[in-house]
Structure 1
Amino acid sequence: MRQGQARSKGLSAADIDATFRAEVADVLSHVLPLAHHHDIDIVKEVARKWLVWHDAPLDPESTD
């Protein structure tokens, strides 16, 4: 809907954006417990997978 590729079902652009934000939050709310259940350090895995370009290693324990 946000890209005009689906019917808006009478929703305003603001309503469509709010629905999209809620759906993203819903996905995240499912992924975090899944990672916890499987003992996955999600911060470490995101850094390893997506932040490889970062100059310094990301350490959530760091005080820098």
Structure 2
Amino acid sequence: MTHDRQDVNHPDHGKPKHPETDVEKKERKQHADENQDQALEETFPASDPVSPFVPAKAPD
């Protein structure tokens, strides 16, 4: 099931059931870093080089 930003979450949604351990925190941060690295690779290069515009000759 998909949700969009307008959907209201349950008040307990996203709250951890227990305090995050050091191992869980490290794994969460590692996962976020991997996602960010992958997104960066997918968008490289950040901008394409500008292609010069050469207008065609007007028809006679």
Higher RCO (C-alpha under 8 Å, 6+ residues apart): 1
Which structure has the bigger radius of gyration?
2
Q: Shorter-chain-normalised TM-score: which range? A: 0.3 to 0.5
Higher helix share goes to which structure?
A: 1
